[in-house]
């Protein structure tokens, strides 16, 4: 598992607090309660890495995790790699002012972060993309940044329903010119965990 051994580095309220912009990183985004922390923990194989309980303060930060240096093959030095957990603010309890702050910060981050290789967007498979998800997909289309969507909580729906949701999402991404890929996922059942790890490692290496 290339994401094994991920370690908390820092929590940032502003872009200026992020680690030096070198190496490679992949950002995780998702509406609050979509299952982003659970997905991060499942991917890293570390239950307590990201906090899954409702800790409101925690959602209002960019949380950086360092990965062990990623082997890049013969003759190339290992790659400094990170995962960045972006705040989820697509819900009503977040004051409008704070939502605007994070919208600006995330927009700037996606446009300016040189080491950013892609976005992993966590979407609850039971709910079609909501405005927050659409905004993230639009950002990716606008910045030509690859997006990998995890349709999570797949254990809560029938197999046919999961396949239909995946097909609809892929079609939407194609139609909207969103560069990237999508898969079915479940942190609880372990569905798609290997596939997602490989995709993220591939993004980091690009």
By CB under 6 A, name the binding residues for ligand GDP. Answer: 30, 32-38, 52, 88, 152-153, 155-156, 186-188
* Distance in angstroms (rounded) separating the CA atoms of residues 186 and 163: 13
d(CA 132, CA 84): 18
Angle at 44 between CA 185 and CA 116, to 5 degrees: 85
Identify which of residues 115 and 187 has a Cβ nearer to ligand GDP in the complex: 187
Minimum gap (Å) between residue 64 Cβ and ligand GDP: 16
Considering the complex, what minimum distance in angstroms separates the CB of residue 35 from ligand GDP? 3
Termini Cα distance of the chain: 18
**Residue 72 beta carbon to ligand GDP: minimum distance, rounded to whole angstroms:** 30
List phi, psi (to 5°) of 189: -90, -10
Q: Which is nearer to ligand GDP, 28 or 109 (CB)?
A: 28
Q: Length of the chain, please?
A: 206
Give 80 or 133: the residue with its C-beta nearer to ligand GDP.
Answer: 133
In the bound state with ligand GDP, the residue whose beta carbon lies nearer, of 35 and 146, is 35
Structure tokens at 6: 């991920």
Residue 25 CB, shortest distance to ligand GDP, in Å, is 19
């Amino acid at each position: 598992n290339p994401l094994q051994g991920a370690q908390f580095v820092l929590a940032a309220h502003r872009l200026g607090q992020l680690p030096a912009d070198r190496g490679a990183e992949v950002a995780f985004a998702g509406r609050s309660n979509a299952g982003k922390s659970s997905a991060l923990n499942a991917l890293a194989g570390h239950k307590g890495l990201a906090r899954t309980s409702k800790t409101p303060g925690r959602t209002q930060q960019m949380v950086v995790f360092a990965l062990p240096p990623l082997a890049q093959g013969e003759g190339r030095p290992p790659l400094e790699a990170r995962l960045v957990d972006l705040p989820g603010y697509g819900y009503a309890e977040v004051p409008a002012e704070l939502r605007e702050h994070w919208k600006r910060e995330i927009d700037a981050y996606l446009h300016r972060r040189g080491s950013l290789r892609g976005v992993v967007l966590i979407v609850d498979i039971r709910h079609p993309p909501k405005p927050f998800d659409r905004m993230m997909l639009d950002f990716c289309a606008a910045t030509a940044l690859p997006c990998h969507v995890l349709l999570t909580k797949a254990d809560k729906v029938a197999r046919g329903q999961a396949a239909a949701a995946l097909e609809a999402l892929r079609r939407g991404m194609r139609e909207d010119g969103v560069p990237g890929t999508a898969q079915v996922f479940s942190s609880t059942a372990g569905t798609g965990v290997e596939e997602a790890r490989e995709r993220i490692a591939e993004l980091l290496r690009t």
